[in-house]
Amino acid sequence: MSAKTPIFSNPVALEEPIVRGEQTIDSVQVRKPGAGELRGTKLTDLLQMDVAALQLVLPRVTQPMLTGPDIAKLEPADLLALGGELVNFLLPRSERAIASPTA
């Protein structure tokens, strides 16, 4: 049985880049989560874009990988954009087409 190829969102350009030492992260992709990466949270909390739920799951599904402290320091607009990409993966295909005309 072969492993599935990960599915990533389009890159999300950050309003405020994340600086880690000499590294600057100015865009992030969100990977479609597996059920295990959603552990410890409620899907309803993610669908409502609850900040605590996003802070728990986003470090598990971002590329480059964002840490918990990175997520905590994000500009609200950046958290909203990354959360929107994550929530889009949780919707059924029929709903994604309605929610995002480019999906």
Residues 5-37: pLDDT tens digits? 889 999 999 999 999 999 999 999 999 999 999
DSSP classification of residue 30: E
For the entire predicted model, the pTM comes to 0.87
pLDDT of residue 52 exceeding 50: yes
Q: Residue 30's beta-bridge partner residues?
A: 62
Q: Residue 18's beta-bridge partner residues?
A: 25
Cβ contact 73:51 at 8 Å: no
pLDDT of residue 90 exceeding 70: yes
- Give the gyration radius of the chain's Cα atoms: 14
Tell me, what's the pLDDT at 53? Answer: 97
* Pairwise CA distance, residues 44 & 82, whole Å: 17
